[in-house]
Amino acid sequence: MEKDGGVVVATERYGSAEVWKYLAKDGAVERRRDDTEGDTRRGNSIVGVFKSVFLPQGFPESVSGDYLQYQFWDTLQAFSSSLSGTLATQASLRGVGVGNQEATVAAATVTWLLRDGTGMLGRILFAWHKGSKLDSEAKKWRLFADVLNDFAMFMEILAPYFPACFTVIVCAAGIFKSIVGVAGGATRAALTVHQARRDNMADISAKDGSQETLVNLAGLLVSLAIIPLVTNNPIPTLSLFFLFTILHLFANYKAVRSVVMETFNEARLSIVLQQYLKDKRVLTPQEANQREPVFFEFTKMMPVKLGVRLQEIVQSPEELQLALKKNNMPFLMGVRNGRVCVCLGPEASVHDEIRAMCQAAWISSTLSSHTQQGKQGHWETVHESHTLMDTIFSPFLKGVEAAGWDTKRTLLDWDEWRVEWKSKSN
């Protein structure tokens, strides 16, 4: 019952942003906004318009919990990258002869075409060689792309001071930027899949584009003030570039650190498994993501290769029998050429894939720490892994599901080989 005598007959809401109610009064129904503070209506309206333009529909319910924090740092890195890009573009234009009466249009055009051509070739080769890795290691490649982008812009700034090597330098920078384009775009798509909670990837991507456009517009206005101050002044140019680069890298690091993925890749699954083996505690997605490395590192751990051909595990009937020993799962495991290899059967489920990766991670950790030698020692470790997983995997899987992990899909880097093999009885 309202103070003026109206009776509330219905209420409605627009996500978590607005609440309205319908009042029955004097034979009519009146729609009224449910404001706790009437004076904030105009402010709420302005905020509502801003949210509808730059944030996905249904925010915050329609996106992951880490969306806002990630977008804040992503916006900051985009702004600093825009300013660094302005300095690099100015240097490139000066290098091809803009402002130099002795420079020819043909020479500048050839240099530009060579840079673009080598960049296109680099884009194709990188996508072919590393495309399948970008989903499983999205954080690492996202950060790698931004570091490489800063290095490429640094090369472009230095290029005019080495006129004899200018074309070679800008072509190399073009290759690096093409890699940045592939890695950055692909990992952005992977993060969008993570952020979309209502199958709203297109909306999130569109609003991300709007945010980036707004940031670039702000960067353009700041660049208009900066360019007259740094033109033909190398020291201010380099000083500002390093300042923007530090800000860019810091914001990128904070951005990827803020992402909390609930699906397993090799690193996150290994972290959760090692903690479980240590004290039977299952890490939450938040805890495991904080421990996940975001830089590429030279580790002493034995690498794991998933979805290999059968011949990469066994090369004789005796080795096939060793691979089948104590194994009732739709995958085979073995160690060859310093790698833990997993051969997957066509009927394997997602849970089988998770178990296979758990076994491979345990074998890798065990062999790396004990440096066992000889094929027989390797097979004994494989057999021990089957026995261990028969005991712990079921409670482990229940634990990770209870902790909030998504076990319906994974980001494990499986190759496409699938093998059917004869059992020992046959």
411 within a domain of the structure (yes/no): no
C-alpha span between 363 and 159 (Å, rounded)? 49
247 within a domain of the structure (yes/no): yes
Same domain for 253 and 274, yes or no, is no
C-alpha span between 234 and 158 (Å, rounded)? 9
C-alpha span between 282 and 407 (Å, rounded)? 14
Count: domains in the chain:
3
166 within a domain of the structure (yes/no): yes
Same domain for 154 and 245, yes or no, is yes
The set of residues, in sequence order, having a beta carbon less than 8 Å from that of 332 and lying 6+ positions away, is 310, 313, 314, 323, 324, 342, 343, 419, 421
Same domain for 223 and 342, yes or no, is no
Domain boundary residue, one of 226, 258, 290: 258
CB 410 within 8 A of CB 353: yes
410 within a domain of the structure (yes/no): no
Same domain for 288 and 236, yes or no, is no
Predicted confidence band of residue 137 (pLDDT cuts 50, 70, 90)? very high
> Taking 60 as the threshold, does the pLDDT of residue 99 lie above it?
no
Q: Which range among 132-141, 223-232, 273-282 shows the weakest confidence by mean pLDDT?
A: 223-232
Chain mean position to CA 282: 23
> Taking 60 as the threshold, does the pLDDT of residue 97 lie above it?
no
333: left (phi over 0), alpha (psi -120 to 50) or beta: beta
CATH (domain of 222): 1.20.1250
Q: Which of 258, 256, 249 is nearest to 188 (CA)?
A: 256
pLDDT of residue 42: 47
CB 263 within 8 A of CB 88: no
Per-residue model confidence as pLDDT tens digits over 252-297: 999 999 999 999 999 999 999 999 999 999 999 999 999 999 998 8
DSSP state of 259: -
Percent of residues, the chain, with pLDDT higher than 90: 63
Same domain for 217 and 105, yes or no, is yes
Same domain for 172 and 128, yes or no, is yes
Same domain for 253 and 307, yes or no, is no
Q: Which domain holds residue 161?
A: 67-258
60 within a domain of the structure (yes/no): no
111 within a domain of the structure (yes/no): yes
C-alpha span between 196 and 192 (Å, rounded)? 6
426 within a domain of the structure (yes/no): no
Domain boundary residue, one of 258, 279, 312: 258
Domain boundary residue, one of 211, 235, 258: 258
pTM value is 0.86
421 within a domain of the structure (yes/no): no
Q: Which of 364, 83, 93 is nearest to 241 (CA)?
A: 83
Same domain for 376 and 294, yes or no, is yes
pLDDT of residue 297: 80
C-alpha span between 371 and 375 (Å, rounded)? 12
Token couple for 221: 């206005």
Same domain for 364 and 332, yes or no, is yes
* Kind and range of the H or E run holding 338: none
CB 62 within 8 A of CB 197: yes
- Kindly write down the DSSP assignment for every residue of 168-231, as one continuous string: HHHHHHHHHHHHHHHHHHHHHHHHHHHHBSSS-HHHHHHHHHHHHHHHHHHHHHHHHHHHHHHT
